[in-house]
Amino acid sequence: MSENNKVILAYSGGLDTSVAIAWLKDKGYDVVACCINVGEGKDLDFIKQKALNVGAVKAYVIDALDEFADNYAAVALKANAMYEGSYPLIS
């Protein structure tokens, strides 16, 4: 397949993104799955393998834990950011 038919998919390992890989593959796309580690405690090796098993041509896990903590979570915490005015944004 040509480079024009390559898709990078933000992949969670859940049902929706797993079906999306199969659907995109069926439509003629080469799917590259990308999972971002922001500290959720998921089995990222399992998620990467699952992406490949459902049809991704490549799968990557990007470690963004420190960047997420420093540039987003800490900023929201310092700002006392609230979701819908009631819930701490960083919970």
**Which stretches does DSSP call E strand in 11-54?**
30-37
| H helices present in 2-87, as ranges | 15-26, 44-53, 65-68, 74-78
User: Does 33 or 82 have the greater pLDDT score?
Assistant: 33
pLDDT of residue 7: 97
pLDDT digits 0-9 by tens, 4-61: 799 999 999 999 999 999 999 999 999 999 999 998 888 999 999 999 999 999 999 9
pLDDT of residue 6: 96
At the topology level, CATH places domain 3-65 in: Rossmann fold (3.40.50)
